[in-house]
Amino acid sequence: MKPVTLKEIAETLGISITTVSKALKDYPDVSKKTKRLVKELAQTLNYKPNAFAVNLRTKESKTIGLIIPEVVHHFFSSVIKGIIAQAEKKGYLVIILQSNESYELEKKQLDLLFSKRVDGVLISLANGTGDFKHLNDLMAQETPLVMFDKIAKIVNCSKVIINDRKAAYTATKYLIDSGCKRIAHFRGPLLPQNSIDRFLGYKQALVDHGFVYDPSLVYILDAMSFDEGNYYAAQLLKDHKDVDGIFINTDLVAIGAINELNKRGVKIPDDISIIGFSNWFMSSVISPTLTTIDQPGYLMGKTAFKLLYKEIKKRKNNQAVVYEEVELPTELIIRESTK
Amino acid sequence: MKPVTLKEIAETLGISITTVSKALKDYPDVSKKTKRLVKELAQTLNYKPNAFAVNLRTKESKTIGLIIPEVVHHFFSSVIKGIIAQAEKKGYLVIILQSNESYELEKKQLDLLFSKRVDGVLISLANGTGDFKHLNDLMAQETPLVMFDKIAKIVNCSKVIINDRKAAYTATKYLIDSGCKRIAHFRGPLLPQNSIDRFLGYKQALVDHGFVYDPSLVYILDAMSFDEGNYYAAQLLKDHKDVDGIFINTDLVAIGAINELNKRGVKIPDDISIIGFSNWFMSSVISPTLTTIDQPGYLMGKTAFKLLYKEIKKRKNNQAVVYEEVELPTELIIRESTK
DNA sequence: TTTAAAATCGAAAACGTTTTCGATTTACCG
DNA sequence: CGGTAAATCGAAAACGTTTTCGATTTTAAA
């Protein structure tokens, strides 16, 4: 049973394809009676327009692409949820691709999306991307792009971000204010902007409060996993007996660290205070519960789509597009892992 | 700058569209020289075939749809990851829709996917669906469908599942073997097959081991949230002072329950043992760590796609399709929340 | 009854591919 | 050089829509 087409409806009704098409879309130049007939038949035959044909004709796919580094991730899945919820409201479908933090994959996937002629793409960069030609190429071909969370400052497009630097500053300052004297930092990889900014915020807070910045206190992680949290917590204990606070780039790692410290009998927060980043659900559930920075994933997804949608509209109407950079608020969530 | 088409390449090279198309796809009836010329130009112009046109012609979208109840969910996001990883290997893109446990939405989304002429759809049912006409309609129109995790036994299609009943039996039996005398069950809503099966497994284990089944010991939850875990744990304490074990439908609720019991000074597992279901990452991290049933999400996603892919292939070659039902293994993960 | 205006309809082109099949060119052999 | 086989090419139809614009029919007015 093949999908029913306009042609079939037209033939069984003895009218032209044109009229059927117009009847279905309530054109003014088709009679009420014909409209009723057509709509009824379409209904009973369960007619659904072939999106390919429509898109080929109208050049609109009503589909956007989304590239994220990792799907199984509390923050990113919240973002996804925000995006598809908002997209659905506007009649858009979203194709999700996972870059696995690989620049090469990211490039390939962008090509794929272009081939599908998506109306726009939303992207959060892989840790591995230091070159942005693929992004600029896409935009050069009229495909709107908006970046969120892990962005590249140098690329000229709309962005939705948080102020990582400020948030990290706040977190570190809280550690300082609560009496920590020697504060370590588990940072993310070198390339991503947010891991740079969080590091910078940490450093700034230190300097502003009369600490001397000690590079041996910052550990550069790679996978940002629970296991790395375990490993570097142990490492830190070995390297620096005097550390009494850690600001950690992301909650998952922080939870790994807490796990390791618990195991070794280190008292949190009495011996060492810990602050994470992101406010994963898990953070409110482990013991001790984790002080962290709340990062609004759902809102970020929603906002990113809105920006993209606005740009799609503008382009469609041949209006000038202005790139926006919206900064979402973060919040320090104080729990048990700090004094 | 409009996307470049075959026509453009053909014109600048002074050859026909046909030849360009064939050159790009390495047809044997175009000369090496022409192929080289075409490919070079395509490369420099950054030509990407218009998927709409291709699909309209070939009737293959190389896209599948995925409908799941909830994105922000450890199990489902693992499934998603498995699906898109496997799909990418075979050159398929996946459109993800979230039904939010709503039957109405699910129906609408299925229509949307059909309109997009996806090559197939993967679905895990919403809790609210008790009617399956929308699924049968889709299949009647030649769109392969495979269900996973939350399935409907009555629908005739390929499925990938776990043996919920057996797993629940194992869990409950473990509680019994470890000495529990009065075992409660927090079950899911009434409709979904897996919540029924888990309940049945629980009941069977009880009966098989000389317990009398007491309906007042099973609580029917709705949202399956952390908060519900809190609430029903409190409720249980009020209703039944003698309960010493709970088998809980899903880890998130179990974690909520543990949270509440911890707060009230109930000792786990000494006073009450708890077993969850799914093996969320979180379960290995809370205190006490949660004994649970491991449910292989990534593998399930991968398998579901494979089944779908097989069916797509078969249909394409006009071969008879046979529906398969594959059952994935589960495993009891013993941790601290049980004796 | 004629005529102009309004209402209703449909032919055809276009979107960018793929593929069949016939046409043309080239190479080769005697 | 003639003829056949092989190599190379392109015209055209098709996929299912949308939309323009001209054609036809109906209605209402004169």
pLDDT, tens digit (0-9, with 9 covering 90-100), for B3-60: 999 999 999 999 999 999 999 999 999 999 999 999 999 999 999 999 999 999 999 9
In this structure, are B78 and B122 located in the same domain? yes
In this structure, are B287 and B322 located in the same domain? no
pLDDT at A89: 94
**Residue B71 to residue A84, Cβ atoms within 8 A:** yes
* CATH at residue A217: 3.40.50.2300
In this structure, are B132 and B241 located in the same domain? no
B339 in a domain, yes or no?
no
Residue A250 contacts B, CB cutoff 8 Å = no
Distance of CA B20 to the CA centre of its chain: 42
Interface test with B, best of A285, A302, A337 (most B CBs within 10 A): A285
Within 160-179 of B, beta carbons closer than 8 Å to A belong to none
- B-chain residues within 8 Å CB-CB of A80? 71-72, 96
Res A318 pLDDT > 90:
no
Summarize the confidence of residues A175-197 as an average pLDDT. 96
pLDDT, tens digit (0-9, with 9 covering 90-100), for B195-232: 999 999 999 999 999 999 999 999 999 999 999 999 99
Res A1 pLDDT > 90:
no
- Establish, for the pair of chains A and B, how many residue pairs have beta carbons separated by less than 8 Å: 129
CA distance A316 to A62: 12
In this structure, are A143 and A204 located in the same domain? no
In this structure, are A198 and A223 located in the same domain? yes
Average pLDDT, chain B: 95
Distance of CA A96 to the CA centre of its chain: 11
Res A169 pLDDT > 90:
yes
pLDDT at A142: 87
**Residue A52 to residue B55, Cβ atoms within 8 A:** yes
**Does the CB of A287 sit below 7 A from strand D?**
no
A200 in a domain, yes or no?
yes
Summarize the confidence of residues A9-21 as an average pLDDT. 95
Cα–Cα–Cα angle for B142, B146, B150, rounded to 5 degrees: 140
Asked if B41 and B23 touch (Cβ cutoff 8 Å), the reply is no
Summarize the confidence of residues B55-72 as an average pLDDT. 95
pLDDT at A38: 96
In this structure, are B135 and B114 located in the same domain? yes
In which domain, by residue range, is A34 found? 6-49
- B-chain residues within 8 Å CB-CB of A84? 71, 96-98
In this structure, are B170 and B206 located in the same domain? yes
**Residue B226 to residue A61, Cβ atoms within 8 A:** no
A138 in a domain, yes or no?
yes
In this structure, are B93 and B206 located in the same domain? no
CA distance B304 to B157: 12
To the nearest whole percent, how much of chain A has pLDDT over 90?
A: 95
In this structure, are A108 and A175 located in the same domain? no
Asked if A79 and A300 touch (Cβ cutoff 8 Å), the reply is yes
Residue B81 contacts A, CB cutoff 8 Å = yes
B147 in a domain, yes or no?
yes
Q: Which nucleotides of C are covered by protein (CB under 7 A)?
A: 7-12, 14-22
Residue A51 contacts B, CB cutoff 8 Å = yes
Residue B239 contacts A, CB cutoff 8 Å = no
Residue with tokens 């005739």: B156
Binning pLDDT at 50, 70 and 90, where does residue A227 land?
very high
pLDDT, tens digit (0-9, with 9 covering 90-100), for B261-317: 999 999 999 999 999 999 999 999 999 999 999 999 999 999 999 999 999 999 988
Interface test with B, best of A71, A75, A268 (most B CBs within 10 A): A71
Binning pLDDT at 50, 70 and 90, where does residue B2 land?
confident
Residue A55 contacts B, CB cutoff 8 Å = yes
B338 in a domain, yes or no?
no
**Does the CB of A71 sit below 7 A from strand D?**
no
Nearest-CA neighbor of A93 among B95, B89, B268?
A: B95
Question: Residue A57: how many CB atoms within 10 A of its CB?
Answer: 10
CA atoms within 13 A on the CB side of B138: 30
A338 in a domain, yes or no?
no
Asked if A337 and A273 touch (Cβ cutoff 8 Å), the reply is yes
Average pLDDT, chain A: 95
> How many separate domains does chain A show?
3
CA distance B292 to B167: 10
A337 in a domain, yes or no?
no
Res A128 pLDDT > 90:
no
Q: Residue B56, CA: closest nucleotide via C1'?
A: D15
Rounded to 5 degrees, φ, ψ at A338 are -130, 155
Bridge partners (DSSP) of residue A44 are: none
CA distance B166 to B172: 10
* CATH at residue B30: 1.10.260.40
pLDDT at B317: 85
CA atoms within 13 A on the CB side of B2: 7
In this structure, are B254 and B273 located in the same domain? yes
Interface test with A, best of B4, B59, B66, B72 (most A CBs within 10 A): B72
Residue B104 contacts A, CB cutoff 8 Å = no
- Distance in Å from D18's C1' to B5's CA comes to 20
In this structure, are A105 and A154 located in the same domain? yes
Residue B287 contacts A, CB cutoff 8 Å = yes
pLDDT, tens digit (0-9, with 9 covering 90-100), for B121-135: 999 999 989 899 999
pLDDT, tens digit (0-9, with 9 covering 90-100), for A66-84: 999 999 999 999 999 999 9
pLDDT at A206: 98
In this structure, are A66 and A134 located in the same domain? yes
CA distance A261 to A248: 14
B1 in a domain, yes or no?
no
